[in-house]
Amino acid sequence: MDRIVTTHRLRKVCEPSPIWTLTTLDEGGLPAPVNTLVPGVWESIPGLKTYRGHAVYEKKLTCGGTLRFVFGGVSFRAKVFLDDTLLAQHYGAYTAFDCLAEDVPFGQHTLRVEVDNLFGGDSALHVPNDYYSYGGINRPVTIEQLGSAYITQLHVTPKRRGRMWLADVSVTVRSLSDEEQVIDVEAKAGPGSISWKHRTLPAKADITLTATIAAPGVSPWTPDQPRLYNAEAILWLDGEPADDLCDRFGFREVKVDGAQLLLNGEPIFIKGVNRHEEYANFGCAVPVEAMMQDVQLMKDLGCNLVRTCHYPNDPRFLDLCDQLGLMVWEEGHARGLSLENMQHPNFMEQTMTCLTEMVAQHWNHPSIVLWGCLNECDDVSDEGASIYRQCFQKLHELDASRAMTAALLDRTGSQVLADPDVVSMNLYPLWYHESDPAAHMAKIKTWVNEHGGAGKPFIISEIGAGAITGYHDPFGQAKWSEERQAAILRRQITAAMENPEVTGIILWQFADVRVDESWFYNRPKCYNNKGLVDEYRRPKLSYATVKELYTK
């Protein structure tokens, strides 16, 4: 299941059975091929907990015709072959990619995916970091059967005009034929619909059809009442329905008005958590049941937003946020990269590709209210600041219907405070330094105001403290005890909520996550232990504290 919504009723889609053969190729791997489940990461397999290297996934398929293979995510370099023919290559674990095999003779074929998770070389974004870069096919794989043309994209953008709602609809159709075709296209978005008749689709080309349609009588999407609507595009060839693409969307508007962030015209205060897409031994191949439980836990905590630190998430998680009413700050992949990291020859290309794929693939999710990029990268040097500006501009060009931001490091010297729609900063008073949270927030906000960020919404995009599950100090004094974490969070959250210049707070972090072994010094068990719940979602004492403050 690659989504929790139906995406095709006409197009034939199959999900191959989940057992694949995995062969590791480098030292530290397994002596013989093993069976494994896809999606999954190889670190779940006994003996491969720390394997970093090359591996081959293979799957025998009985199929034929024109096939489209869709990979939800492969961590983190992939080469896809059908019977030794290279179909596609992709870099980066957290966005989907597809490939076509045309006129495949019906019969048995082998789908082979060469994967590696080796740092260095051409990799600018996956570096040893304060989270783990796993190896494997971490998100679902689907196989689609196509005809001479198919719909590649259906984007619906809600618009508010006073009390009226409209929907901008955009449908892209791609020809796989050597000949020009005449097509009809029909699109529905909630109560509205539109038809385009007798359009010419040139040979082997794309066309995009756009329209604005009225949506009378609809209810808006809000975290309390997350009303969703269906969208559908149908392609007709020779008078017959030939292909379709369906999705869900919601009517909601995100606007920045001075220092306020408005949802459907109402100011919002963000009560959020940061969540890495990771679950205990399953790594970044999170089972959908665990995704659902995470969203339910966040709602139970009283959260209205989750930040997908530090990369785009599985669309099933976003579907669940749409469904249950949890706003999302989704961000491109990049954490804590220095100027030197950002000068890697592939950095710009990989960063821009990730942003472009993220926005195009997750466009319709009403839960996404903020796009983010470049967590705690270099925003101090001229070159770093210019890269931030290029990313902000890119996000606006891709989608101006949402606000954009970046979580900046708590330091003076940032040159980009005037550039994002929303200024966001990661602060750790009482954990990395002993400052009083209220005084520290006031000091930082004054500095932000004096250096270009005045009059914009200000979000504390990370704040928190560590605790090891089960380690107790009834006096609440010992660092890493559950009591000390709860006490620190109480002061941090209270300070943020009492500061009228703060637009929201996003706690670091929802759940404990594995980190790269090179980070072991400050990270007991090689985990970032600042979760409100541990990696198995067992609540720490801080869970109750946050719930008390967030639901008050």
* Per-position x/- string for 418-447, each x denoting binding to ligand ADA as judged by CB under 6 A, each - no binding: --------x---------------------
Contact status: 376 vs ligand ADA (CB under 6 A) = yes
Report, in Å, the least distance between residue 130 CB and ligand ADA: 4
Q: Exactly one of 95, 528, 542, 545 binds ligand ADA (CB under 6 A); which one?
A: 528
Report, in Å, the least distance between residue 149 CB and ligand ADA: 44
Amino acid, single-letter form, for residue 119: F
Structure tokens at 445: 């906000």
267-286 positions binding ligand ADA, by CB under 6 A: none
Contact status: 540 vs ligand ADA (CB under 6 A) = no
Number of residues interacting with ligand ADA: please give it, by CB under 6 A. Answer: 9
Residue 140 or 464 having the CB closest to ligand ADA: 464
Residue 24 or 461 having the CB closest to ligand ADA: 461
CB atoms within 10 A of CB 282: 19
CB atoms within 10 A of CB 27: 7
Amino acid, single-letter form, for residue 19: I
What three-state secondary structure class fits 327?
Answer: strand
Contacts of 249 (CB under 8 A, 6+ apart): 156, 158, 167, 189, 190, 228, 229, 231, 364, 365, 366
Give the count of alpha carbons within 13 A of 3, CB side only: 21
Report, in Å, the least distance between residue 193 CB and ligand ADA: 44
Contact status: 512 vs ligand ADA (CB under 6 A) = no
Q: Exactly one of 109, 335, 445, 537 binds ligand ADA (CB under 6 A); which one?
A: 335
Contact status: 130 vs ligand ADA (CB under 6 A) = yes
Contact status: 331 vs ligand ADA (CB under 6 A) = no
Distance CA(104)–CA(126), nearest Å, equals 35
Residue 276 or 537 having the CB closest to ligand ADA: 276
Give the count of alpha carbons within 13 A of 328, CB side only: 32
Report, in Å, the least distance between residue 535 CB and ligand ADA: 15
Q: What is the DSSP letter of 283?
A: B
Residue 271 or 335 having the CB closest to ligand ADA: 335
Task: At 503, give phi and psi (nearest 5°).
Answer: -90, -10
28-67 positions binding ligand ADA, by CB under 6 A: none
Residue 143 or 468 having the CB closest to ligand ADA: 468
Instruction: Please say whether the beta carbons of 159 and 166 come within 8 A.
Output: yes
Residue nearest to ligand ADA (CB): 130
Beta bridge partners of 329: 307, 370
The site for ligand ADA (CB under 6 A) is made up of 130, 335, 375-376, 426, 462, 508, 528, 530
